[in-house]
Amino acid sequence: MNAMIPTIVIVLILYFAAMVVIGWMGRSKASNFEGYLSMGRSAGVLLLMGGAIGGQIGNGFVVGGAAEGAVSGLAGAAYGIACALSTVVVALFLNNFIYNNGYMSMTDYTRKRYHNEIPGTIYDLSTAISSIGLIAGQIMAGKALFEALGLPGNVGAISIAVVVLLYSQLSGLWGAFATSVIQTGVILVGLVATTIVLFSKGAVGEMSAAIQAGNLASSSLDFSGLSAAGFAGMMLPLLLGIVTDQPTYQRVNSAKSAKISRIACYLSCLVMIPLALMPAFIGSYGSFKYGATGNSAFFDVILMELPAIVCALIIAAVLAACMSTIDCGLITMSTVLTRDIWQGTLKKNPTEAQLKKITLGVNIGFMATSTALALSASSILGLLNSVYSFLAAACFVPFVGGLAWKRGTAAGAVAASIVGVATVLISWTGVVFPFGSIIPAGIFPVIPSAIAYIIVSLCSKNTEAQAA
């Protein structure tokens, strides 16, 4: 492997330089703050697919999927499949609602629905907190890559954070989507090529023989490594979280039309479902062949099985995809903290120059916090699942309740968020709630949150919130 390092380093440098050039080319798309956040509603199908797929590939989807595949075989694709299904949820239930109303964030909706700033502020703060975890997940994937190469993981994680912070200000959402398109294409080719190489070397035959001999669990080549309840526990928090996911609002709202955004969602699902199986298989083979475990399972296999130049391209694409996803996370921070809270709730009217300074300050603070979390966390998928559970607990009921029930009030929305978040925090201490064997832990907080929403809304005197 040491002989491959120079090739990998050279390709990484060239690849990252290309990403920066793309960002520089798109700087006109972010000439003002609104363009930075939405690219002026000019995105076509390809850019939107890049945003949807690129937001998953390179972290939990590839690196985490391979890590889970090393433990549970093809069932390790559960998270990737859930990511794919989430795009269908967006297309069917959210796309037209977001686009036709011009909602840049859920705060735009809560202001209109509840005539109150507090529910939206809770959403903004919850999104900011969860974005820290999402960014940390991307940095963890990059850290795992550096460690797999025999390089210092912490140094790699910090380097990723610094580089993204430098180029994230160039072209805003357009740059994040444009780089994601290229990265997604390279990773797609890389995963397919890796899978074909393993098949051609008889990987399936070797593993099947080991299973028949009793030396390998049958789950290595099937989905028996994860129960239906386990799959639901992985999928449902993500599906609930996607309803209030800030990048979803920005991605849909950046499209040329609602139809184009919807088509991009469906095509993204079609690409991601078969793609999700490949990292799980690669990780499962890595566990069998090399004893690979954890976040390095993916990298161990490609380093051992692929030619240097192909391996270098895949590694560069995975790392760059992590960086692009971080870029989207930073834009999310700018939306919820600068646009929604600073300009909206606090009624500030800063100049474009002041907005750039505020955005840079927000990005530096949250990047430092996310990096610290990435250096201390141990599981990418565990971290991502916790993030989606937290966001769903804080925001799902106020959003859906406001749509489905006209009697829902601002006070009820606030109570729902407080109870949901409190339930999540209690569960993180190890407390097991009732019906734990039936209701996944990531879903349970929605139940007391809904109860609080109904009771407080019924008792509330806030008649302004009756408007749909």
Instruction: Give one DSSP letter per residue of 345-371, joined into a string.
Output: IS-----HHHHHHHHHHHHHHHHHHHH
pLDDT score at 208: 94
Q: What is the 3-state secondary structure of 252-320?
A: HHCECCHHHHHHHHHHHHHHHHHHHHHHHHHHHHHHHHHCCCHHHHHHHHHHHHCCHHHHHHHHHHHHH
Tens digits of pLDDT across the chain (468 residues): 566 778 877 887 887 788 778 878 877 777 777 777 777 788 899 999 988 887 777 556 787 788 889 988 999 898 888 889 889 999 999 999 999 999 988 999 999 999 899 999 998 988 888 888 878 888 887 887 788 777 788 888 888 888 888 777 777 778 778 877 887 888 888 888 889 999 999 999 999 999 999 889 888 999 888 777 777 777 777 777 788 888 889 899 999 999 999 999 999 999 999 999 999 999 999 999 999 887 678 878 888 888 888 888 778 777 776 777 787 788 888 888 888 888 888 888 888 888 878 888 888 888 888 888 888 766 665 666 677 678 778 889 999 999 999 899 999 999 999 999 999 888 878 777 776 556 766 678 889 999 999 999 999 865 544 444
Residues 6+ apart with CB under 8 A from 201: 305
Give, in order, the Cα–Cα distances in Å from 412 to each of 294, 331, 395, 448, 449. 42, 30, 12, 12, 9
56 φ/ψ angles, rounded to the nearest 5 degrees:
-110, -45
pLDDT score at 465: 43
The total of other beta-carbon atoms located within 10 Å of residue 91's CB is 20
pLDDT score at 92: 94
pLDDT score at 338: 86
Tokens of 137: 């997940």
Q: Where are the domains of the chain?
A: 2-391
Nearest to 192, CA basis, from 271, 267, 266, 138: 271
In the CATH scheme, what architecture does the domain 2-391 have? Up-down Bundle (1.20)
The total of other beta-carbon atoms located within 10 Å of residue 239's CB is 20
Rounded Cα distance between 458 and 468, Å, is 16
Question: Which ranges of 55-116 would DSSP assign to H, the alpha helix?
Answer: 65-72, 78-89, 95-101, 106-114
Cβ atoms of residues 356 and 413 within 8 Å: no
Cβ atoms of residues 272 and 56 within 8 Å: yes
Which residue reads 């694409």 in tokens?
317
pLDDT score at 184: 81
Residues 6+ apart with CB under 8 A from 227: none
pLDDT score at 436: 59
Cβ atoms of residues 465 and 410 within 8 Å: yes
Tokens of 428: 């993180």
Rounded Cα distance between 269 and 242, Å, is 14
Model pTM? 0.80
Q: Which residues of 98-119 are buried (b: 16+ CB within 10 A; e: fewer)?
A: bbeeebbbbbbbbbebbbbbeb
Nearest to 166, CA basis, from 326, 28, 374, 352: 326
pLDDT score at 468: 43
